[in-house]
C-alpha cells in the first residue's frame, strides 16, 4: 500500500481550533457547565433558521431525546428509513417502540415518500397510528419531503428529520424553499462526529420549532434534575448534554462552515466533471429543488462491476473508499422487522461507493483518486 494514504473523511482542524479549546481548558469549565454550550446552540439555531436548538452528546442521543420528548415508548410504532446508518433507527428501538422500515427512492437514496404513506396506511388499517415518522437526508442530499409534510401534518403524525449528514443543505424551491434540512419537521437531528463537515470531536443537536419540546429535551438531557441546589429529579433522564469543551471546538469550526461547504461543493464538481461520461457509473444527483451539503461524494455502478471489488482495489492503491449503508432490514438485530419496499435499498447497497471527500483533501490527492477510480472501472468494464 502506498505511504500517502488518502482517507475517506477526516476533520479539518487548525490553530484557531486549538486556541479555542485551550481557552476553554484554561477557564476550567470543561464539562456541561459553562457558557459555550448555550452559545453554540444559539449559533446553530441562527445558521439553520430553527427557533430552538438543544445540544446533545451525539447525533444518536439527540435522536433519543427528540423521540422521548415526543412520547415514544413501549407499544408505539415508528416509521423509519431502511437505507441509513443504524443510528437513525436504534433510538426508537431502545425506547421500546416497534419500527416499520421503508424503502428509499433511487435518485437521492432518501426515504420514498410514497412508501412512507404506504406504511402509514398499512398501520391505519390495523387501527394504529405511528407515534412518529423518522426521515433521513443521506450524504448531504435533501430528501423529497415537500409531498410528505402536508399529509403527515394533516394526520397529526410528528416528523423527525435525521439531518446528521446534511448540515448546510436546504431546499431552494417548492413548499420548503428556504428551509434548512432538519427544520421541516417538529424536530431535526444534527451530528458533529469527527467525519462530519464540522466537528466537536463528537456531539449532536436537536433543532425544533417547539419551545416546550426544547425545554423538555434539555431537562431530560441533564438527568431530569430540577433547578436549585438539591439533587431533585422529577423524571428518569439521561446524561446526554454536550460539554463546554466540545462546544468550544464546535464554535470555532462553525465560524469556518461557509468555507468548508464551498470546498465540499468544489470536490463534488471536480468528481462530477471527471465521472460524468464514464461508462458504468451513475452520479448521485441533488434534486432540482434543493442544494445539498455534499458531505460525502457517492456514486453507483450499473454495469455489473462489483462495488466491493472496486473498493478493495482502491485500498491496495492507498485510497479509502466505503460501501454505502447496509439496509437496516439486513442487519442481524432487525431481520424480523417489518419492511415496506421491494428491494431498492438492497440494490443501492450492492452498487454504491463513497469516495474521499475530506475538506482538507488537496487537488493533487483528488486527481489521484479520479485517475485510479477510472482506471479500475475501465479495466473491469472492458
* Type and span of the H or E element at 171: strand 170-171
Distance CA 310, CA 298 (A): 13
Distance CA 173, CA 340 (A): 29
225: which DSSP letter?
Answer: B
Judged against a pLDDT cut of 70, whether residue 89 lies above it is answered with yes
The architecture (CATH level 2) of 258-381 comes to: Alpha-Beta Complex (3.90)
Please tell me the predicted confidence (pLDDT) of residue 382. Answer: 64
Cell numbers standing for residue 301: 455502478
Q: What is the pLDDT of residues 270-300, one digit of tens each?
A: 999 999 999 999 998 877 889 999 999 999 9
Mean pLDDT of the chain: 96
Please tell me the predicted confidence (pLDDT) of residue 1. Answer: 40
- Let me know: does 370 contact 295? Beta carbons within 8 Å: no
Q: What is the pLDDT of residues 136-195, one digit of tens each?
A: 999 999 999 999 999 999 999 999 999 999 999 999 999 999 999 999 999 999 999 999
Q: What Å distances lie between residue 21 and 31, 89, 247, 254, 306, CA to CA? A: 12, 33, 9, 14, 44
Judged against a pLDDT cut of 50, whether residue 34 lies above it is answered with yes
Please tell me the predicted confidence (pLDDT) of residue 380. Answer: 86
Q: What is the pLDDT of residues 321-362, one digit of tens each?
A: 999 999 999 999 999 999 999 999 999 999 999 999 999 999
pLDDT interval class at 103 (50, 70, 90): very high
* Type and span of the H or E element at 54: strand 52-56
277: which DSSP letter?
Answer: T
Q: Is 7 exposed, middle or buried (0-12, 13-18, 19+ CB in 10 A)?
A: middle
Same fold for the domain at 15-254 and the one at 258-381? no
The architecture (CATH level 2) of 15-254 comes to: 3-Layer(aba) Sandwich (3.40)
pTM of the model: 0.96
Please tell me the predicted confidence (pLDDT) of residue 336. Answer: 93
Please tell me the predicted confidence (pLDDT) of residue 286. Answer: 75
Q: What is the pLDDT of residues 13-30, one digit of tens each?
A: 999 999 999 999 999 999
Judged against a pLDDT cut of 90, whether residue 367 lies above it is answered with yes
Cα four-point dihedral sign 257, 258, 263, 266:
positive
Please tell me the predicted confidence (pLDDT) of residue 303. Answer: 76
Mean pLDDT on 301-310: 90
Judged against a pLDDT cut of 70, whether residue 2 lies above it is answered with no
Judged against a pLDDT cut of 60, whether residue 3 lies above it is answered with no
Cell numbers standing for residue 315: 485500498
Distance CA 64, CA 221 (A): 10
- CB within 8 A of 353, min separation 6: which ones? 298, 299, 300, 301, 307, 310, 311, 321, 322, 323, 324
Mean pLDDT on 251-260: 98
Beta strands in 278-376 (DSSP E): 281-283, 290-291, 298-301, 322-323, 338-340, 352-354
pLDDT interval class at 203 (50, 70, 90): very high
Domain boundaries, the chain: 15-254, 258-381
Closest CA to 46 of 180, 174, 175: 180
Amino acid at each position: 500500500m502506498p505511504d500517502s494514504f488518502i482517507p475517506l473523511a477526516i476533520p479539518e482542524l487548525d490553530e484557531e481550533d486549538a486556541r479555542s479549546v485551550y481557552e476553554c481548558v484554561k477557564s476550567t469549565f470543561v464539562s456541561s457547565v459553562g457558557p459555550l454550550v448555550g452559545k453554540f446552540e444559539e449559533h446553530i439555531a441562527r445558521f439553520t433558521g430553527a427557533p430552538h436548538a438543544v445540544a446533545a452528546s451525539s447525533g444518536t442521543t439527540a435522536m433519543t431525546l427528540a423521540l422521548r420528548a415526543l412520547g415514544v415508548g413501549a407499544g408505539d410504532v415508528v416509521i423509519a428509513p431502511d437505507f441509513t446508518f443504524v443510528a437513525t433507527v436504534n433510538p426508537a428501538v431502545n425506547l421500546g417502540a416497534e419500527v416499520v422500515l421503508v424503502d428509499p427512492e433511487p435518485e437521492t437514496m432518501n426515504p420514498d415518500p410514497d412508501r412512507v404513506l404506504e406504511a402509514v396506511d398499512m398501520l391505519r388499517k390495523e387501527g394504529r397510528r405511528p407515534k412518529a415518522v423518522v426521515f433521513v437526508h443521506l450524504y448531504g442530499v435533501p430528501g423529497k419531503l415537500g409531498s410528505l409534510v402536508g399529509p403527515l401534518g394533516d394526520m397529526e403524525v410528528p416528523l423527525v428529520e435525521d439531518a446528521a449528514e446534511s448540515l448546510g443543505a436546504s431546499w431552494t424551491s417548492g413548499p420548503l424553499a428556504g428551509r434548512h434540512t432538519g427544520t421541516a419537521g417538529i424536530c431535526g437531528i444534527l451530528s458533529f462526529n469527527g467525519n462530519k463537515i464540522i466537528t466537536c470531536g463528537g456531539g449532536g443537536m436537536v433543532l425544533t420549532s417547539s419551545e416546550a419540546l426544547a425545554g423538555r429535551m434539555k431537562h431530560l438531557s441533564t438527568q431530569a434534575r430540577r433547578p436549585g441546589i438539591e439533587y431533585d429529579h422529577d423524571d428518569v433522564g439521561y446524561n446526554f448534554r454536550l460539554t463546554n469543551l466540545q462546544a468550544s471546538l464546535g464554535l470555532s469550526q462553525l465560524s469556518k462552515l461557509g468555507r468548508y461547504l464551498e470546498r465540499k461543493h468544489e470536490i463534488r464538481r471536480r468528481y462530477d466533471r471527471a465521472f460524468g461520461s464514464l461508462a458504468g457509473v451513475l452520479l448521485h444527483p441533488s434534486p432540482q429543488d434543493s442544494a445539498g451539503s455534499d458531505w460525502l461524494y457517492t456514486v453507483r455502478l450499473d454495469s455489473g462491476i462489483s462495488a466491493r471489488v472496486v473498493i478493495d482495489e482502491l485500498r491496495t492503491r492507498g485510497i479509502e473508499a466505503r460501501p454505502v449503508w447496509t439496509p437496516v432490514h439486513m442487519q442481524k438485530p432487525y431481520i424480523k422487522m417489518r419492511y415496506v419496499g421491494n428491494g431498492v435499498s438492497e440494490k443501492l447497497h450492492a452498487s454504491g461507493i463513497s469516495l474521499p471527500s475530506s475538506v482538507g483533501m488537496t487537488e493533487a490527492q483528488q486527481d489521484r483518486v479520479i485517475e485510479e477510480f477510472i482506471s479500475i472501472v475501465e479495466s473491469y468494464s472492458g
